[in-house]
A and B are shown apart, each in its own frame.
Chain A
Amino acid sequence: MAEYSALSLLKNALTGNRDWKPAWRKPEPKPSYDVIIIGGGGHGLATAYYLAKEHGITNVAVLEKGWLGSGNIGRNTTIVRSNYLLPESVRFYDFSVKLWENLSHELNYNVMFSQRGILNLAHSPSQADDYIRRGNAMCHGGGDGVWLTPAEIARKVPGVDLSRSARFPVIGGLLQPRAGTARHDAVAWGYARAADRRGVDILENCEVTGFLRDGEKIAGVVTTRGEIRAKKVAVAVAGSTSRLMGMAGIDRFPIESHVLQAFVSEAIKPFVDCVVTFGGGHLYMSQSDKGGLVFGGDLDGYNSYAQRGNLPLVEEVMGEMVAMFPAVARLRLLRSWGGIMDMSMDGSPIITGGPLPGMYLNCGWCYGGFKATPASGFSFAWTIAKDEPHAVNAPFTLSRFERGAVIDEKGQGPTPKLH
């Protein structure tokens, strides 16, 4: 496969762009593989790539029930950050940011990672203390964080309502300069192409309908394209984890599926240069390279597998948008959509071997799976290849709930809808 570069682009332009090859093959399933990864989203594809690249395991199939990247990798608000509070999270997500920084080169695919920074606006002294605690946790954990005064915020993000009379006056903000955004679809396509090039079979329209077993051990899957056997079966289907676990006979699990809506405005010329979050409610907003303001807020707040939400949440998010950027009232909402979030019971993911022999599990990403894609794929591949966790994913076990060793960033407790 030709390398992508300015030169190849020029060469192909001169020949009418007729010689470009498919970004990934569309092979027929083989009867068996060393590793099957269920889920052709960002995490599944990244896992396949790192299995091949880091561990030389290339007899791998990625099974996707629809079109590649049709889950949350293609439905998120594209934010990449590691502005976390707890040391386990800081370590994991900062590792991810480091992988992001070189990802386009690594994949020979421009994923458009733009380190434009993320700014969390703080609106009360106690919120400022919280954010400063978090910023200091980031710095002490090897990451980056900067505290901005309202005057500095005014310079960095014109248009933010900094008036004293605002319902929630801005008193400062936590900036993580290395955070940013990336082109979400490109991440799926880039990993798919790079994994394919190393020999991984990507099987689209291949829905898993059951598991094959050798006694207790998971030995493969039944799919809409036939039975496929494997030494190891990895599950990376955030949004549908409970359904897959149900097929494996586990009918209760520390996950709920919830719908999260996202929004984009019409494209406008550059308006905001970094990702901004509003602390008076729950809102995050950035501007895509194409010019649309991309933003989202809370979950709709009830179990759902329908990829659509309802009107009250739309109104709530728009109210927060206008509270943060009063000028935005004049702009127009272009599109909204819904994604199904794997909400775990402490807001943190699960990346682990098990829960059945022969099975490996990657789930529970809540809102935050996109930014984790490289680290998740890297550490999950490690866990599958070596049958032990990598240092960065070691705390993200399934047993942590039993042991009381939860990683509860928001301090909300065992409720899946508030993280």
Chain B
Amino acid sequence: MSARRIPTGGLIDRSRTVPFTFDGKAYTGFAGDTLAAALLANGITLIGRSFKYHRPRGVFTAGVDEPNALVTVFKDGVREPNIPATQIELYEGLVAESQNRFPSLDYDISALNQLAGPLFGAGFYYKTFMGPVVGPLKGTRFWMFCEHFIRRAAGLGRAGYDKDPARYERMNAFCDVLVVGAGPAGLMAAEAAAKAGKRVILAEQEPRAGGAANWSGETIGGKPAALWAEAAAERLAAMDNVRLLTRTAVWGYYDGNNLAALERVGDHLAAAPKGAPRHRHWSIRAEKVVLATGSFERPIVFPGNDRPGVMLAGAAERYANQFGVLPGEKIAIFTNNDGAYRAAAALKKAGGAVVAILDVRPEISAAARALAEEAGVVPLLGHAVAGTAGKRLAKVLIQRFDAATGRLSGDVRPVEADCLAVSGGWSPAIHLASQAGRNPAWDDRLNAFLPPQPTQEWTGAGAFTGAMSTAEALSSGRDAGLIAAGKKASRAKLPEVAAPPLEAGPAPVFEIKAEGKAFVDLQNDVTADDVRLAHREGFVSVEHLKRYTTLGMATDQGKTSNVPGLAIMAGARGLAIPEVGTTRFRPPFSPVSIGSLAAEKHGHFKPDRLTPMHDWHVERGARMMEVGLWHRPMVYGEAGETVEQTYIREAATVRASVGIVDVSTLGKIAVKGPDAAEFLDRVYTNMFSTLAVGKARYGLMLREDGIALDDGTTWRLGEHDFLMTTTTANAGKVMQHLEYYLDVVWPDLKVHLASVTDQWAGAAVAGPNARKVLEACVTETAVDNEALPFMGIVHGGIAGAPVMICRLSFSGELAYEVYCGAGHGTHVWEALMEAGEAFGITPYGMEALGTLRIEKGHVTGAEIDGRTTARDLYLDWMLSKKKPFIGSALMDREGLIDTNRIRLVGVVSLDGRPLGGGAHIVEKGSLEELGESIGHITAFCYSPALSKYIGLALVKGGKARHGTRAFVSDALRKRFGPVEIVSHHFFDPEGSRMHG
């Protein structure tokens, strides 16, 4: 048994010894220990190094507010940096390492930084590193050179690059009452609300309910407080309408009483149970919230207040009472309030030697005096700590102190101590309330900020409200629970609390000014002098203070430093603390694993959209590509073929015989109702009311500002029944666009819309033999030119499945789009393949599809890119003059008809080399001397029909440049060469093939 472990007592399981390692050395602790407790029990007090000065640091707190003892944990084969040792529950085989030190924790070379301390005051970065104004390090180069080293010195732990193998989970939860914090107040609130029949969630960040009851040494209802809390928690856990979540930190308070919480499901276990996630992210919707988040003890700032061995008094008490660990052998107490006397008595009772109690106050309460007696010392009133000594605390330097003037006087006397327990008063944990609304209010009695008036549906209870005693916690907790349940407060008897009647308010002493570094923000190494320097330089508002000095910006978010920092600034400005202001707390209350927030999105945060024929494509060796959320075949490569060889083969086969392509991804919208034709006339630039039933028409839509939105064909299936197709990428956007107009702008139109994209499978069969393929397999209808003319529609069957066939062409060939129910997709596709076998039918992918459309000069998303007009694309023939339509009013504005706009052309490579999507077009220049851009290439291919590299481009002036020479200029891919600008209708401009 280690020297520091108390033989009996505490809430640990002494029957279970737990081995662990710290910095490679093996130790043991007990089940129920935190890493911090176990290290202290093993006599380890040096645990980390500070951020800036690399000063040795130990354990400062016992909870989530820990600024110093941050370690890296190794688990699941990955590293997790910056975890407070006070938050790590010991498990068998835990591997932890100290961080931010080199070569070792004990001898850290960067501790030399301290020698230059005065140079590194607040804001020193801003005043230097500007470097020379000439030479290779001019401009910002010198800073970047220095930054390289500064970055390596900064940071805390090191993260790994390996994928986190852990699983995370997201949970939506709904309840009538969410109680945050399961201390005495929270337990009472939860029970009161639950007994009133409400669905209750009680969330507690610690592994066990009870809060301060676990270490207060008080009794409730005649039982030790910890046991009372345990019994209360068990009662709650047994109720059907209560969900008790431990290890669950509520960290965010969002609009509409939406609270976010992190449950650490597996962190305390050597291996997570099968199926359990590491962390669970809770999004909780609560009708009412009870905030019973307690309070944080804060330190007094004095020189040397950061040495390992200095800790908060409440933490020292907790280590003794909850973990059975003495934080030191010779313990000194320094306080400005009564609370620390309870700690003194507890530490004495646990076997420690309390060597001194220093109290800045000239007088103390009788209760405090009695506790001092229990601790076996006469308190030194009107005294303060003026400094400390030792790498690990060895001596406390004490002096007389006048709380009224804040001055030290008399001799400096050393007191030998290896632990200094400090209390500067208590600040309610108002973080969630602050996130949810207004600024907090200062309380002169507690010298702390109290929660603001609620702007959302919450009530407070216990120390959170400034009611610091356990008796008050019980009564305010029960009342809050009842109020949240819509009941009246109760006068029924509460359990008796046996506790010393301590005065909660501290003396308003926040800092002891003396020679030496006195830290306000321990983790970011912000000293009291830094705060005063900020004041001197005019950074006096709270936010300036925070930003200039980094006060409160560390991983502990200033939980121990916020009020002392404000107090020192207030002192410097000669203002009261609330006049200096307070910063708004932001989510999260305590750090949250990013993995838990990603949860199921982990690695696949967007859905995969697959067509009905997806498996067929994959089986046929198609190389798939991303198109929006869809996976589509790029090419169906054969062994030894390059992508280019494949698409050329596929496209050539279409032109020579026949091919088939999966077009299921096209957006499909059923437009039905008596006003459907009128509606389409308004949303398309061209007429649809004149379209005959059984025919399709190509349509173009504009946005209200006159810019092209989308294009596609729409089929009239009946008088009041249309099937609209959109481009794959814009399907959702167009649907919303149409719905908006129907709901908001033209509510009088009787039209119903339904997205049917996923209901239909589609295959386009294209090529001179396309009709023959259909003739070989289509039943119940003829498909000859008479029955199925260009843009005609017929209904029939293929291999027993009903199909709808429209004769339209994107490739410029004789072509048909065959639609069937999605469930029949592969069946019909295979039948078409079989029917096409005799003609050497080939499936073709996006590359060949693109090639065929480029040869024809058809536009897609690369040209309709949200900036081009119908005129830019030479689609002005589609702009009806007979009717207004969306975009017609604004499409003729001067900026949109400027002749110098970039407009659609074709380009032909004159050097026989490929072009490139995104390459620019210039009139002159070279790769060394880039010319002025006159446009860019939107798409390119090798054209098997023309036997050359061609492309579509948007070029200033458009048609006016037909027949002229220019250059493709692709600085990114180092490609420069001559091109000819031509019409974008490269192939069969008359359309004789598709009409054939």
Contacts and interface: CB of A to CB of B under 8 A. Distances in A.
Interface stretch (B224-232, B362-370, B700-708): B700-708
A335 B121 contact: no
Given A6-B128, A104-B143, A190-B126, A136 B919 contact: yes
Interface in B661-719: 703-707, 709
B972 A145 contact: yes
Nearest to A7: B128
A334 interface: yes
Contact of B124 (A9, A14, A115): A9
A74 B547 contact: yes
Interface string B626-670: 110000001000000000000000000000000000000000000
Given A133-B920, A133-B936, A323 B895 contact: no
Interface stretch (A30-38, A46-54, A309-317): A309-317
Contacts of A305: none
A330 B922 CA distance: 49
Contacts, number: 370
Interface string A390-419: 000000000010111110101111100000
A145 B969 CA distance: 14
A9 B922 contact: no
Given A147-B972, A329-B598, A289 B128 contact: no
B877 interface: no
Contact of B969 (A74, A136, A315): A136
B438 to A, nearest CB: 12
A111 B125 CA distance: 9
B155 A291 contact: yes
B593 A329 contact: yes
Given A167-B608, A269-B157, A290-B550, A132 B916 contact: yes
Contacts of B162: 327
Given A20-B536, A281-B605, A406-B895, A114 B972 contact: no
Interface stretch (A120-128, A214-222, A242-250, A363-371): A120-128
A252 interface: no
Contact of A315 (B81, B598, B705, B931): B598
A311 B705 contact: no
B6 interface: no
Nearest to B139: A101
A contact residues, range: 35 or more
A197 interface: no
Nearest to B160: A327
A332 interface: yes
B705 A414 contact: yes
Interface in B89-120: 116, 118-119
Interface in B120-158: 121, 124-130, 133, 139-140, 143-144, 147, 150-152, 154-158
B155 A270 contact: yes
Nearest to A108: B130
B771 to A, nearest CB: 32
Contacts of A115: 140, 144
Interface string B251-266: 0101100101000000
Interface string A321-338: 111001111111111110
Contact of A404 (B147, B553, B895): B895
A269 B867 contact: no
A130 interface: yes
Interface in A183-237: 183, 185-186, 189-190, 204
A290 B156 CA distance: 9
Interface in A1-26: 4-6, 8-10, 12-14, 16-18, 20-24, 26
A319 B130 contact: no
A202 B444 CA distance: 34
Given A126-B861, A136-B936, A326-B164, A291 B151 contact: yes
Contacts of B898: 405
A18 B536 CA distance: 8
Contacts of A388: none
Contacts of B254: 310-311
Interface in B499-541: 529, 533, 536-539, 541
Nearest to A345: B705
Contacts of A113: 140, 143
B82 A267 contact: yes
B81 A268 contact: yes
Contacts of A131: 918
B125 A112 contact: yes
B598 A332 contact: no
A153 B124 CA distance: 35
Contacts of B537: 20-23
A159 to B, nearest CB: 4
Interface stretch (B19-27, B392-400, B456-464, B584-592): B584-592
A139 B608 CA distance: 35
B627 A404 contact: no
A105 interface: yes
B536 A330 contact: no
A167 B629 CA distance: 9
B603 interface: yes
B706 A404 contact: yes
Contacts of A18: 536
6 contacts: A100-B140, A136-B918, A136-B920, A265-B594, A322-B595, A330-B80
Interface of B: 51, 78-82, 116, 118-119, 121, 124-130, 133, 139-140, 143-144, 147, 150-152, 154-164, 166, 168, 170, 252, 254-255, 258, 260, 281, 283, 435, 529, 533, 536-539, 541, 543-544, 547-548, 550, 553-555, 557, 586-588, 591-595, 597-599, 601-606, 608, 625-627, 634, 703-707, 709, 861-862, 865-867, 890, 893-896, 898, 916-920, 922, 930-933, 936, 938-939, 969-973
Would you list the 10 A-B pairs with minimal beta carbon distance, nearest first? A411-B866, A329-B595, A291-B155, A319-B601, A132-B918, A404-B893, A129-B917, A22-B538, A405-B895, A404-B895
